[in-house]
A and B are shown apart, each in its own frame.
Chain A
Amino acid sequence: IQLTQSPSLLSASVGDRVTLSCKGSQNINNYLAWYQQKLGEAPKLLIYKTNSLQTGIPSRFSGSGSGTDYTLTISSLHSEDLATYYCYQYNNGLTFGSGTKLEIK
């Protein structure tokens, strides 16, 4: 399964509601996770099984979707959310999307 993330680059202001997209080439059956990677750091698990928030992750992060289309939403952008976000499917094989780089205006 291939994953296509859009946009590849997103610029937003603190306080904005931000939506990142991930589209699979086949049905992912909700086995979709999201990772946040800050510059120079290892990725961090944010969301698993489409919409379950990992322990310790702020509630401004949420996930949704079904079938082939999935979304990560940040309800109110904080400056520390500057990072690249990757979706990852584990329904059929193990594949990552190409990432969305989130910039703060």
Chain B
Amino acid sequence: EVQLVETGGGLVQPGRSLKLSCVASGFTFSSYWMYWIRQAPGKGLEWVSSINTDGGSTYYPDSVKGRFTISRDNAENTVYLQMNSLRSEDTATYYCAKDRYYDGTYYPFDYWGQGVMVTVSS
């Protein structure tokens, strides 16, 4: 059974840093791209970052580029999100997710974690 479990959320002051972790199980972690997606309270979904299988390529939207860093440890089946210079607008539930490419078919975000809440406030 695929499981994605996020940890590391909490209350942090504006301008400070926080690092999220997502531990994966039930699939060959090193074979999959991984993603972080966030959802501000009462709002919609926003893609935050992507990382390829070996961690050599990472992608971000302009809203977090230069402040957030995604990384992974394939030996530990874990993907991370380092969040620096946090702002109030970063307050959200952060989900990690995986996709799947099988037999010529791509399945976007087929599994999600339960999410972890990050609150940026003084």
B109 touches A88 (CB 8 A): yes
17 residue pairs of the A-B complex, CB under 8 angstroms, read A33-B108, A33-B109, A35-B45, A42-B112, A42-B114, A43-B45, A43-B95, A44-B112, A49-B106, A54-B110, A86-B45, A88-B109, A90-B106, A94-B47, A95-B47, A97-B44, A98-B44
- Using a Cβ cutoff of 8 Å, how many contacts connect chains A and B? 47
Q: What is the number of residues of chain A that contact chain B, defined by CB distance less than 8 Å?
A: 21
* With A42-B113, A54-B107 already in contact, 11 other A-B pairs whose C-beta atoms are closer than 8 Å: A42-B95, A42-B115, A43-B112, A45-B109, A48-B107, A86-B44, A88-B45, A93-B61, A94-B50, A96-B46, A98-B44
Query: A99 is contacted by which of B44, B50, B61 (Cβ under 8 Å)?
Result: B44
Bound-complex Cα distance A45 to B35 (A) = 15
Residues of B within 8 A of A95 (CB): 47
A16-55 interface bits toward B, Cβ cutoff 8 Å, 1 = contact, 0 = none: 0000000000000000010101000011110011001010
Bound-complex Cα distance A90 to B107 (A) = 11
Residue of A nearest to B59 (CB): A94
**Chain B nearest Cβ from A69, distance in angstroms:** 19
Say whether, besides A42-B95, A42-B114, A42-B115, A90 and B108 are in contact (CB < 8 Å).
yes
